[in-house]
Structure 1
Amino acid sequence: MSRISVRGFAVASATAVTTVGAVVGVATGDPQHSNDLETTASGTDTLLADIPAGEQARVQSASLTQQADALSHAADTDAKRSVEEAARIQAAKDAKDKKSAAEAKEKADAEAKAKKEREEKEQVASRSASRDASSFTPKSSYTVAELKSIARQIVPASQFQCFSNIVDAESTWNYLAVNDSSGAYGLVQALPGSKMSSVAADWRTNPATQIQWGLNYMNETYKSPCGAWTFHQANDWY
């Protein structure tokens, strides 16, 4: 191997070491490393002084290429690390959001289930507390307070106010009320009044029979007295 070849190889090798070390030294902030690099670079300059100008240009070109490759590799490594970190953060966020959504759904489902069970219990309690029209002994006359008391014992508590609103609007709690125009009869103004015979034959004089028929009609036609009252408010009839 010639003197030029040996020195060229030495210069290229030293320059490569200097270049890679520079990247590492700058990145780590290691002063000692930087000093070592300067010494190595100084030695390289001495070697270059002994090499012909043409060979120096070739060696320096190779050194710059190695330096560029080292910097590019470092940049690629940093970019890859940044992408991986961003992906990790996003994955953690997605997992947290998914968990929160699942917990919110579970809570909503539990609340809906509890509400349904509560309503069913209330309905059962209302039905068990209600009396049938046939359990009331007919009287010759009734006060409004007595009529409302009978209605409270037949109509579920949760539906009583709606039922009462309809009776107030239709007959003002007069169980003998007759509509002069249509012939509608009784507390709930059944049309015709004879419809109420499906509950009992005493529909003309027994308010309990009228109340029971009215409740049945509201449940069958509007699902509940409150459903009937909503319709009544919008149409002034039911």
Structure 2
Amino acid sequence: MSGNLVRGFAVASATAVTTVGAVAGVGQSGTGQAVADAGTTASGSTLLADIPMEGQARIQTASLNQQADAQSVAADTSARQTAAEAARVQAAKDAIAKQQEARRKEAQQKEAKRKEAERKALRDAEDGQEEQQQAGGSSTESSGVTQQSSYSVADVQAIARQIVPGGQFTCFSNIVDHESDWNYKAVNPSSGAYGLVQAYPGSKMSSAGADWRTNPATQIKWGLNYMNERYGSPCDAWTFWQANGSY
């Protein structure tokens, strides 16, 4: 590149077109003094007029190309950032959707198992009652529910649904959840409270049946009577429990 072309890069600016026009005007004047005036600033700096027309065109083309390249790079960077942010947002949405779907399926499976266990417990209880009736036997003295050698949580809950009125069952269940987690043999190591409703002492439940230690139906009947007599209903008892942490 010639020395004139190098100097031209140093002074090329937005006024390049005006400068080129000035150069053309000077060429028409034909006076050496006018050329000198157009080619020099007050400070003696070299202007675009010092550069041949071909060089001026090359300078302007290079400048425009640089601007176009810079704009292209900026646009590409912005597009990549936008795409990356969109991908991140979509990935987060997909992850949340998968978690929600997994929880929904898990809840459905648990509910299906719970209902099946309840149906099985009811069928077993009905079958036991029918067998006893055919054999001339009787049900337990306290509840009318056939006693078994052992009970699962589902069994106990199914029995409770038979004894506790439907509108009060949820409140009754909430209390039992907190007191014994539906363990009819639960014992408080500190106080000695016993059973589903944690009667203290446990022997109080003998008023509902002598089999209070091993028969959840007896415990449920006693607990229901206790809640009704002391608080008015299981739901009233649950309201008191929420306020005091016990009943």
TM-score > 0.5, shorter chain as reference: no
TM-score relative to the length of structure 1: 0.43
TM-score relative to the length of structure 2: 0.41
Q: Which has the higher helix share?
A: 1
